[in-house]
Structure 1
């Protein structure tokens, strides 16, 4: 814990000129000033008697070391715009506690972008690609939506435009706002399909999705053909019912046991950007296929290759568990039940008599809800059309 609270100061590309008196005082009285090389360069050349230190890389490792090295000294930290909006301010509060951090914000890049575009901030979805792959944009591309994307650097706009074109969103209005709030600010607009400009590394992307673009909803039950699979796939109707029992909650973690094509883990993660899933798959080819599906659909899924229940030991405790494969492996239900957090949901699907027998035993022991789902699909019967039944699925769900 530092002797005085660390002061985190938001700074725009306009630099010293637009800082408040409180921010200037904090910088002038600091013994140590931390920030990126770009942020440090925005200060006047005089040092105010402070040591200026650029962040090391990776920041997650450099930051604790720097704080320990300068313990007891007055520290000011420079951040872009609003330090608590995807910024270093949040990281410092997590490390040191709110009482040890004082934040002096400036307008965030999102606030500045909305001001330039005339967009209402409360009607805009913000997506950060600073530390996420561009594929994480997929769930947010929906007809008529407005998105603001925080870029990783100069290549991000081209990557986003290419992804939009591949998804059928090439006609979407595509605006890149560079160096917001500074003397070199620039705003350029095209369609995603026509975007071909080189840009400054400090940029924000604004997208207005076309109203007639293809729909790939974040609601449970994506079309089966959205997944690359070898037949090991929880079908659309069963998937929707299963996910309704798993009840995705923002910020929670799912274990998907016997991941197969990954449809349950992927649709759990697509429910909200903060939903996460660990998919366990013993077959190497299926594990790789699952990773491809997660990337193609923009889902935050970690794939663990190995056989459950042994491979489950040491994984982060889950808020929900789906057992879709390997249910009859010795100790599977015990391991999952013991790992599940209090209040967590366990759902198991079975199509064989052996799995049904285990499910029934657990249902009698701990309760829950037990249903059997029969699905029939229309298909050709000669020159006519008839109903062709799929195998019935027994679904057991319980809250611990």
Structure 2
């Protein structure tokens, strides 16, 4: 009788992992607990710059981080199984730092979380230098993240701190500010915060020279006092951005209907939206703009429009919007389960509503808009079976009529919105003759 080979055991984690936050002031700025941990470590992992800050008294093996970092963490920890490991991090390891990654990796291995010894973060230092209250200062990181993500945080009068990816970041930020209509914004670049070589560079985005990168230290934070140019388009934090904010070919959920649609979808932090029939991507984009943790997948069958959705997402500060090119419902296969679904096109595609309803968890929301009688009849049938709310949205705009002013009516939009019940609904009664199917 043959026996199956034993299952491979999970790699053993280190005996203990301690994460030490370190600043530009290096060893001199560390408290006694951090120094003791580093002196007693058998392995010290960190960036080359951070490792160079340690004295010879830290005799453990020094291991620089590989690139890319995140995929290498499990293997690196396994390679030092059973050892006392110290990991160096810039500032506070739990603020956009390696502390989160290590905590997740160790949890997956069934190991206890790391011991974390934080240092003041660059944000704390920057706010102290600028006189800005930390709790009122928004932070955007560009370390390992696309520059376009900054655009969503730009509002007239706001103070932002941008965590820089290197010496080139200030010039890149200045170019984005000019492009987005925030050229008058005051920029201050704070370099080597907390260290002996700390200094500042200052200017405005419209005057920031690209050549300044040669004189900027890679370890920097950018402080922005946002000022919108008088002729720049105002983009509010609430749904219902101006239609002019979007590149489109006419396939765009218009501003007032879009605001009503987002209200019905009711986004909450961390939730995922399927935006089916994405068009120009406006619903998914404004869903993500409501909170930085909101996620969305736009499904669009036309490749040209799919490319347009990506450009709109970048321009409006949500580059993480995922675009899937293909027809629904086929293109929905394999997508993560949504918290809400919006159907803005293709309602009559066979099986689409059924697939969306099946994918929704109990408590999930579905909103569908249409302007055609055929799709309206379909929604009426689903409304009878599942309840919810069926409304007609009509918008008229004042336009010149000769020397006077009159109303021009846009096509009315029928909207069905529904929340999937927490428990299975009772079987629906048979439809009466003549009912819409």
State the TM-score, normalized to the length of structure 2: 0.89
The offset of 1:333, in angstroms, is 0.8
Structure 2 Cα separation of the partners of residues 185 and 277 of structure 1: 41
The offset of 1:273, in angstroms, is 1.3
Q: 2:76 aligns with which of 66, 76, 82?
A: 66
Establish whether residue 255 from structure 1 lines up as the match of residue 274 from structure 2: yes
| Gap runs ≥5 in structure 1 | none
Contact 2:388 2:417 in 1 (8 A): yes
Cα deviation code 1:101-152 (max 9, x no counterpart): 1100000010000011111101111011112221111121111100000111
Q: 1:341 aligns with which of 361, 379, 386?
A: 361
The offset of 1:367, in angstroms, is 1.3
Cα deviation code 1:62-115 (max 9, x no counterpart): 111101111211111000000000000011112223833110000001000001
Within 5 Å, give how 1:1-400 maps onto structure 2. 2=13, 4-48=15-59, 50-97=60-107, 99-196=112-209, 197-198=212-213, 199-210=216-227, 214=232, 215-299=234-318, 300-400=320-420
- 1:100 is paired with a residue of what secondary structure? coil
Distance 1:191 1:135, change over 3 A: same
Structure 1 Cα separation of the partners of residues 103 and 414 of structure 2: 47
- 2:206 is paired with a residue of what secondary structure? coil
Structure 1 Cα separation of the partners of residues 138 and 124 of structure 2: 12
- 2:115 is paired with a residue of what secondary structure? strand
| Gap runs ≥5 in structure 2 | 1-11, 421-437
Structure 2 Cα separation of the partners of residues 314 and 168 of structure 1: 39
The offset of 1:46, in angstroms, is 4.5
Structure 2 Cα separation of the partners of residues 100 and 74 of structure 1: 14
Between 309-318 and 341-350, the greater mean CA deviation after superposition = 341-350
> How many aligned positions are there?
399
The offset of 1:19, in angstroms, is 0.8
Structure 1 Cα separation of the partners of residues 171 and 44 of structure 2: 34
The offset of 1:338, in angstroms, is 1.2
The offset of 1:20, in angstroms, is 1.0
Structure 2 Cα separation of the partners of residues 254 and 92 of structure 1: 29
Between 116-125 and 214-223, the greater mean CA deviation after superposition = 214-223
Contact 2:183 2:229 in 1 (8 A): no
Structure 1 Cα separation of the partners of residues 397 and 259 of structure 2: 16
- 1:99 is paired with a residue of what secondary structure? coil
Structure 2 Cα separation of the partners of residues 318 and 45 of structure 1: 53
Contact 2:41 2:58 in 1 (8 A): no
- 1:298 is paired with a residue of what secondary structure? coil
- 1:193 is paired with a residue of what secondary structure? helix
The offset of 1:211, in angstroms, is 7.0
- 1:64 is paired with a residue of what secondary structure? helix
Contact 1:4 1:100 in 2 (8 A): no
Distance 1:95 1:89, change over 3 A: same
Contact 2:15 2:81 in 1 (8 A): no
The offset of 1:168, in angstroms, is 2.3
State the TM-score, normalized to the length of structure 1: 0.97
